[in-house]
């Protein structure tokens, strides 16, 4: 018997029990579409996280103070290690000693209460220098960023993120307006363009940026000339490794530390963050896929169940076919093709439904990342569904093939 004959028989058999075939197929359809959709959501989360990290600047290094160096054998708590100075920042930015660094900026800040008229807003305050927009990948929507002169003079000027502008000024133009930051008057001279990525981590649009000198003088009272971290812009994403080495050397020299394991600072590149975030979302994708995979197995058991019923129902037909010359393999093939056709068609429809749901999901639930469906996952899902038909069809088909013709013929 040829495969084509088998396929004709299978279609014929499935059509004779339309509702039952459709319901059985539904099991596989749901399983496959769940796999496609959930793996798509996992991939979408990965892409979203990667984009968010990239938007911080893929060539960005962050230098943190570290407690690794123990003074007099006493291990100190996080953040209590020696802080950085503006001279550290200047040394890192020095082109002679660190050719792979474009520039470096200090950062100090915390939460700040902003007031304008009767409006209040709590935002994230950063004190820094004039190179902040280029290092942190910010564009200005209107106005301008503060200059090195304004940093030197500790001018009371501020640049705000679009979230702050909306919440504090509404539709009015914030440029030139004077608002209060922690009860100190600051003039708004610029508004950042939205970075787009919101939710998840820190909202990068909900920020207020002032000269670090002004922050020290008026806003971060009592804490002295503290720099919490230094942002370093490498010449390119590829140069981050070389830049990390250069910055490490400069800092070790300046802090008179000979053993790199005793360094009182830590350097984190966006590449590191990206790698660990990708790993996390990868696990998420795998887990979602596994959960969906369970429903696929349940669908497979449904196929096996129905195939067993079908074999019992058609015992007499099997007897007739055997009497007129069907061999074991002919009967085996007939029922295997039937179960594989059932699961394969269910799988194909499941792929279509999965695609459809992936389109609809972001519209229905805006908080979820847009699912990203990869071509290999589609082929894999289809292959697995056909494989499930083969696996779960094997037992019923084998049972049919082993029936003895006289007993099968006598079956009522």
Partner 1 sequence: MITLEGITKVYRTGEVEVAALKGISLHIPEGEFVAIMGPSGSGKSTLMNLIGCLDQPSSGRYILDGYDVSALTDDQLAWIRNRKIGFVFQSYNLIPRASAVHNVEMPLIYAGDNLQRRERAMAALESVGLLERAGHLPSELSGGQQQRVAVARALVTDPAILLADEPTGNLDSESSLEIMKLLRDLNQQGRTIVLITHEPDIAAFAQRVVRVRDGVVVSDERPSIAAEMVR
Binding site for partner 1 (CB under 8 A): 1-2, 5, 12-13, 16, 316-317, 319-330, 405-406, 409
Nearer to partner 1, 8 or 223 (CB): 8
Give the C-alpha separation, 157 to 132, whole Å. 14
The distance of closest approach from Cβ of residue 389 to partner 1 in the complex, given in angstroms and rounded to an integer, is: 21
Instruction: Output the smallest distance, CB 411 to partner 1, in A.
Output: 11
Residue 268 tokens read as 């984190």
Nearer to partner 1, 1 or 394 (CB): 1
Query: Alpha-carbon Rg of the chain, whole angstroms?
Result: 33
Q: Which residues are CB-contacts of 81 (< 8 A; sequence separation ≥ 6)?
A: 65, 66, 67, 68, 69, 264, 265
Taking the least distance from each CB to partner 1, the nearer of 267 and 333 is 333
Closer residue to partner 1 (CB): 395 or 411: 411
CB of 223 or CB of 316, closer to partner 1: 316
CB of 361 to partner 1, least distance (A): 42
Q: Where are the extended beta strands (E) located within 74-204?
A: 101-116, 119-128, 140-143, 157-160, 178-181, 184-192
The CB-of-30 to partner 1 minimum distance in angstroms stands at: 29
Q: CB-wise, 158 or 401, nearer to partner 1?
A: 401
User: How far is Cα 225 from Cα 216, in angstroms, rounded to an integer?
Assistant: 6
Q: Is 152 helix (H, G, I), strand (E, B) or coil?
A: helix
What does 115-131 look like in DSSP terms, one character per residue? Answer: EETTEEEEEEEEEE-TT
CB of 377 to partner 1, least distance (A): 38
CB of 346 to partner 1, least distance (A): 22
Nearer to partner 1, 272 or 317 (CB): 317
Residue 204 neighbours by CB distance under 10 Å:
22
Write down the least CB distance from residue 341 to partner 1, Å.
16
Give dist(CA 303, CA 297) in Å, integer.
10
Count the neighbouring beta carbons within 10 Å of the beta carbon of residue 264: 20
Concatenate the DSSP letters of all residues of 349-405 into one string. HHHHHHHHHHHHHHHH-TTSPPP---HHHHHHHHHHHHHHHHHHHHHHHHHHHT--H
């Amino acid at each position: 018997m040829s495969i084509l004959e088998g396929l004709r028989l299978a279609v014929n058999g499935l059509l004779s029990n339309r509702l039952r075939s459709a319901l059985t197929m539904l099991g596989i359809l749901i399983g496959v579409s769940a796999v496609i959709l959930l793996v798509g959501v996992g991939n979408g989360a990965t892409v979203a996280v990667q984009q968010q990290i990239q938007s911080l600047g893929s060539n960005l290094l962050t230098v943190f103070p570290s407690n690794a160096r123990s003074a007099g054998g006493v291990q100190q708590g996080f953040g209590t290690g020696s802080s950085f100075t503006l001279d550290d920042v200047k040394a890192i930015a020095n082109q002679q000693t660190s050719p792979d660094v474009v520039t470096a900026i200090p950062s100090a800040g915390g939460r700040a209460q902003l007031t304008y008229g009767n409006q209040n807003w709590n935002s994230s305050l950063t004190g820094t220098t004039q190179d902040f927009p280029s290092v942190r990948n910010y564009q200005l929507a209107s106005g301008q960023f503060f200059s090195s002169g304004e940093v030197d003079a500790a001018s009371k000027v501020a640049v705000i993120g679009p979230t702050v502008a909306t919440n504090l000024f509404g539709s009015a133009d914030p440029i030139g307006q004077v608002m209060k930051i922690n009860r100190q008057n600051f003039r708004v001279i610029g508004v950042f363009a939205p970075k787009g990525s919101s939710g998840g981590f820190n909202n990068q649009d909900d920020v207020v940026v002032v000269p670090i000198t002004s922050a020290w003088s008026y806003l971060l009272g009592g804490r002295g000339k503290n720099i919490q971290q230094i942002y370093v812009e490498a010449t390119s994403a590829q140069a981050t490794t070389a830049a990390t080495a250069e910055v490490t050397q400069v800092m070790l020299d300046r802090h008179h530390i000979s053993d790199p394991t005793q360094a009182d600072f830590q350097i984190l590149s966006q590449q590191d963050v990206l790698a660990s975030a990708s790993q996390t979302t990868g696990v998420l994708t795998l887990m979602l896929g596994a959960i969906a995979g369970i429903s696929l197995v349940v669908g497979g058991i449904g196929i096996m169940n129905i195939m067993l019923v079908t074999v019992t129902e058609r015992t007499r037909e099997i007897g007739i076919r055997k009497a007129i010359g069907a061999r074991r393999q002919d009967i085996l093939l007939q029922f295997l093709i039937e179960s594989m056709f059932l699961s394969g068609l269910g799988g194909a429809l499941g792929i279509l439904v999965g695609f459809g749901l992936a389109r609809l999901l972001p519209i229905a639930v805006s908080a979820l990342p847009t699912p990203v469906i990869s071509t290999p996952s589609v082929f894999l899902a289809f292959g697995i569904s056909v494989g499930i038909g083969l696996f779960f069809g094997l037992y019923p088909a084998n049972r049919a093939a082993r029936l003895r013709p006289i007993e099968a013929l006598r079956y009522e």
